[in-house]
């Protein structure tokens, strides 16, 4: 599990719901030419069954990050459990995609973009600027 802070969201309703800045222009990050995306996916459970699952995270956190796919901009993918499915914690994108393949969850890709930088790694390392 990583720690993060959500500061900005392109969708007004979601921004109001969690108390983040409403920044409609973040959605323009989705309009880049094919193959040049600057957004990653974050899997959000709208009924709050569990915490969000991030596609990637800096490794390590900070200036020495080696994960070149990491971006603090995330495209929200809503995750809904199928009826009659035993809910459990899904900890990775791979687990989510496997659950989707088994029809245990439905994934809804949205046009909502959030600015949500990772501030602490799975190993507990935090950014020096975190206060």
Compute the average pLDDT of residues 5-26.
89
Whole-model pTM over 0.85 = no
pLDDT in tens, 77-101: 999 999 998 999 999 999 999 999 9
DSSP string, 23-43: -GGGGGGGGSPTT----EEEE
Summarised one tens digit per residue, pLDDT across range 54-78 is: 988 888 887 788 887 788 899 999 9
> CA quadruple 38, 41, 47, 49: dihedral positive or negative?
negative
What does the alpha-carbon distance between residue 25 and residue 84 come to, in Å, rounded to a whole number? 39
* 3 contacts 118 by C-beta, under 8 angstroms: yes
């Amino acid at each position: 599990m990583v720690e993060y802070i959500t500061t900005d969201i392109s969708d007004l309703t979601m921004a109001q719901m969690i108390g983040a800045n409403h920044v409609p222009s973040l959605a323009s990050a989705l309009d880049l030419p094919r193959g040049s995306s600057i957004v990653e996916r974050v899997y959000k459970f709208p009924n709050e069954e569990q915490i969000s699952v991030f596609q990637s995270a800096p490794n390590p956190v900070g200036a020495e990050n080696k994960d070149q796919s990491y971006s603090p901009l995330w495209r929200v993918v809503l995750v809904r459990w199928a009826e009659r499915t035993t809910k459990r914690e899904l900890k990775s994108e791979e687990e989510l995609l496997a659950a989707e393949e088994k029809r245990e969850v439905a994934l809804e890709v949205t046009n909502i973009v959030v600015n949500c930088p990772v501030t602490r790694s799975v190993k507990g390392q935090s950014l020096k600027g975190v206060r």
